[in-house]
A and B are shown apart, each in its own frame.
Chain A
Amino acid sequence: MSKLTVKTEGDTHVVVTRRFAAPPEAVYRAHTDPKLLQKWLLGPEGWSMPVCISEAKPGGKIRYEWTNRKGGGFHLTGEYVELEPYSRIVHVERMFLPDRTPDNHVETRFDADGTGTLMTVRMTLSDAKTRAAMLSTGMEKGMEASYVRLEGML
């Protein structure tokens, strides 16, 4: 029942798809309303997002700050480019880990799929090398998540 797909496309894209039981309007709101974002956009177990700014209008600011409450933390900033409620969001984002990562241009589509939603996230990096760097960062985060889970079992 794997609903999530992650694929590379061409030299500079990463495309993620996922189905949700809720209609596009709800999924769109969960991606733009700060109070809702803080409930799910958290990464590994044990992390929270104490600061969440999401000004859902063209040129609006995005700022997410995460912490593990053990001194670990990083943040992301971005800007909204285009918003078509409740079907499409275009924004730019970059991480600070703490060094600034290259800009990631992200188009998120919410298409009705029966009573639910098919979400397609298409990320565009400036070049193949940048995409490779982003992907290997994701790898480290994924490994961190499994270490945190392991800690929980010991």
Chain B
Amino acid sequence: MVAAMNLDMTFAALADPTRRAILARLAKGEATVMELAAPFKMTQPAISQHLKALEDAGLVVSRVDGTRRPRRLAKAGIEAMDQWLEMLRKALEKNYNRLDKVLANMEAPTTRTGEKR
């Protein structure tokens, strides 16, 4: 349950295009709020708000470097996303593996025995 709640936060955090753009920027390496705000037409407090949502969701972490607090991607958050896609994949695979068996047991489609004459 706890894992599911964190994932809800993760996906909520990812629902915003600015936050996804921030993640894309951080994927290239760590950056400060000022550096992150530069390409967006947004104030630093607005960027900070987005960063807080990303940090709460476990997707971004910060470190202290003198007066700077550079942000970087959190491995755990990114891995949680990958795990989620993998689980959806597994759930679908179960259905489709069953469908493979259904298809193998179906009559050859060209015989059309059910067709009315």
Contacts and interface: CB of A to CB of B under 8 A. Distances in A.
B106 A4 contact: no
A142 B90 contact: yes
Contacts, number: 99
Dominant secondary structure at the B interface:
helix
A128 interface: yes
B15 A40 contact: no
Interface string A29-63: 11000001001111111000000000000000000
A145 interface: yes
Dominant secondary structure at the A interface:
helix
Nearest to A24: B109
B91 A141 contact: yes
A42 B98 contact: yes
B16 interface: yes
Interface in B8-61: 8, 11-12, 14-17
A27 B103 contact: yes
Interface of B: 3-4, 7-8, 11-12, 14-17, 84-85, 87-96, 98-104, 106, 109
Interface of A: 3-6, 11, 16, 18, 20-23, 25-27, 29-30, 36, 39-45, 128-129, 131-133, 135-136, 138-143, 145-146
22 contacts: A4-B89, A4-B93, A5-B89, A6-B89, A22-B104, A23-B109, A25-B109, A30-B99, A30-B102, A30-B103, A40-B101, A43-B94, A43-B95, A129-B12, A132-B14, A133-B11, A136-B11, A136-B84, A141-B91, A142-B84, A145-B94, A146-B87
